[in-house]
Structure 1
Amino acid sequence: MADEVTVPLLPCSSIDDVEAFYLVLGFRTTYKQRKPNPHVVVERDAIGLHFFELPGFDPAQSYGSCLVVTSDVAGLHRAFAAGMRAAYGRVLVSGIPRMTRPRARKNADGVTGFSVVDPGGNWIRVVNREAGSDAAVGPMRTALANAVVQADSRGRAEQGARILDTALKRPDAADDPVALIEVLVYRAELATVLGDGATADDLLRRVRDVVLTPEQRDSAADALENAADLVQPGSSPSASGG
C-alpha cells in the first residue's frame, strides 16, 4: 500500500503547555482529550504531532524525538521564529523550550537542519530533504562544523563551546571574516544556552569589531540576525557587523 502514515506519539508533563507552545509556532489543535488519558494533537500543514501527558515527567530527562523532513528548512525556521518573537519578544535559544538555527550537520552528510525542543523536552529535528553541502573549508568553518555536531545535534553545549574557544584562541590573518562572525555568534549562542550572559555580551561586542565589506555583510546576514536575537534587554546593540 502507498497511503501509510507514521505519527510520532511523544511524552510531556502538561498537554496544555505543549499545546500553547505549538500554537505559537503556527500549529492548530485538531484533537484534545482529558479522559481516560490526557492527549493532544497539533498540526501544521503536513506535520502532525501527538502528545500524551505523564504525571511527574521531567522534560530535561526526555529522550523523545522525531524528524520533520522538508524542502524548505529556512522558511519553516523563519515562520517559527516569527511566532516566537510575536509571543515572547525574542527567539528562545536557551532552556526548555528553545530552538536552534538552521546549520549544516557534519554528522548527517552536510544536510542542513535545526531543532525545536518543546516544553515536553522532545527534540523535533527539522531536516532538509535535499543533499548536503560541501565539506567545511578552513579552520574556523571546520571548528564550527564540529561544534554543531556536539551542541546542536547531541545537546552538548559545553563541548561545542570548548571547540569554538580553541579555534578563537588561534586567530589567523587569513581567516574568512564571515566564518569568524559565524563562530563568534554561535559561541555567543552557546554562552546564552549555558547561562553565561557576560561571555555572550563580550562575544557580541567582538562581532561588532569585525570589519565586513557589503558583500561579506550579505553573506553573514543570517548570523548577524541571530546576533541581534541574542542581545539581552538593556544591553547596547553590539552586533551590527562593522
Structure 2
Amino acid sequence: MDPDSSIPALPCVELGATLEFYGRLGFKTTYQQRAPNPYAATNRQGAELHFFGVKGLDPAAAYSVCLIIVSEVEKLHAEFSEAFRQGYGKVPLRGVPRITRMKKGQSRFTVVDPNGNSVMFIRKDEPEGYGDDDVDTDAQPASVLGKALKTARRLRDFKGDDAMAAKVLDGALKKPGGGTVLERARVILASAELAAVLSGSDRARERLRELDALALSASERDSLREEHAAVRKFIEAAK
C-alpha cells in the first residue's frame, strides 16, 4: 500500500511573479492554469509547493507557513542567496520578499515569498532543543539577558517574529545588571542584527557602538570575533 502524502497550497497575489520567484530557487513549474481560477504546481527535488490566486491578498498581513525538510541548509542558503543576488542585485533581507540570515551551525532558515508566505527549510537531522545554548536542553539560562537571548532566538528562528524578538532584547538591555558583560555583548550583537532588518543599517551600527563601549577582556572580545564579523557583514548586506 502506497503511503499517504500531503502537498501545501499557498495563496498568491499574482501567479506569474510567484512562479518566477520560486523558479530562481530551483522550483520547476509542473502545472499551471489561469482559468477558471489561477493555480500552479511546482517541484524542487521532490518538495512540492502549489499556489492559488487570491484577490486582494495583502503580503504584509499574510501568515501562511510551510516546512520543507532538507538534507542540509548552509549550502542551500548560499545557493538561494546567490540566486537572489543574480535576480535582484542583492540579497533581500528586509521586507517582502526576503531570506533570513544563516548563522554558522544553524539548522533552519526561512524564505518569505512575494506573497508573504513563509517557507522554512529545516535540516532533517536538526537536534532536539535547537536554539538552546545549554547542553541540557531542559535547562534554563539563569540571567535576564540569557533568558532574553534564548527567547529572541526562538521568536526569530521558529516564529519569524523579528519585531517581538527585538522587543525582548531591547527590554532586557534596559534592565540594570541582568547578567555578565559577555552576555550583554551577545544580546547587543543579536539586537544589532535584528535592527538591520527592522530599522536599517544606521540603527544597527548604533548598537555595535554600544558593544565597542563595553568593558570586555581581550579573551572575551576574541570569543565574539567571529559573530561580530558576521553581524557586521550582515549589516552591510542589509543596506
User: Which residue identity does 2:16 align to in structure 1?
Assistant: D
- Aligned equivalent of 1:53: 53
Q: Which residue of 2 aligns with 1:240?
A: none
* Counterpart check, 1:10 vs 2:14: no
Partner of 1:31, secondary structure, is strand
**Structure 1 residue matching 2:108: 3-state secondary structure:** strand
- Structure 1 vs Structure 2 CA RMSD: 3.2
Aligned-partner SS, 1:231: helix
- State the 1:27 CA deviation: 2.4
Q: 1:132 aligns with which of 115, 128, 134?
A: 128
Q: Please give the TM-score of this superposition, normalised by the length of structure 1.
A: 0.74
Cα distance, 1:57–1:145 mapped onto 2, change above 3 Å: same
Deviation of the 1:29 alpha carbon? 2.3
Show the counterpart of 2:117. Answer: 122
Map of 1:93 onto structure 2: 93
Structure 2 gaps, min length 5 = 135-140
Report which of the two structures shows the higher radius of gyration computed on alpha carbons: 2
Distance in 2 between the 1:64 and 1:3 partners?
25
Q: Give the Cα–Cα distance (whole angstroms) in 1 for the partners of residues 95 and 48 of structure 2.
A: 24
Q: Are 2:160 and 1:163 aligned?
A: no
Partner of 2:38: 38
Which residue in the other structure is 1:230 paired with? 235
CA deviation profile, 1:179-216 (whole Å, cap 9, x unmatched)? 935x4443233223323543123234556788643x76
8 Å Cα contact 1:41/1:51 also seen in 2: yes
> Number of residue pairs matched?
221
- For residue 67 of structure 1, report the CA deviation from its aligned partner: 1.0
Partner residue, 2:194 = 190
Q: 1:68 to 1:194 in 2, by over 3 A?
A: same
Name stretches of at least 5 consecutive residues in structure 1 with no aligned partner: 105-110, 236-242
Alpha-carbon distance in structure 2 between the residues aligned to 1:194 and 1:12: 24
Q: 1:89 to 1:161 in 2, by over 3 A?
A: same
Distance 2:210 2:90 in 1: 22
Alignment pair present for 1:180 and 2:185 = yes
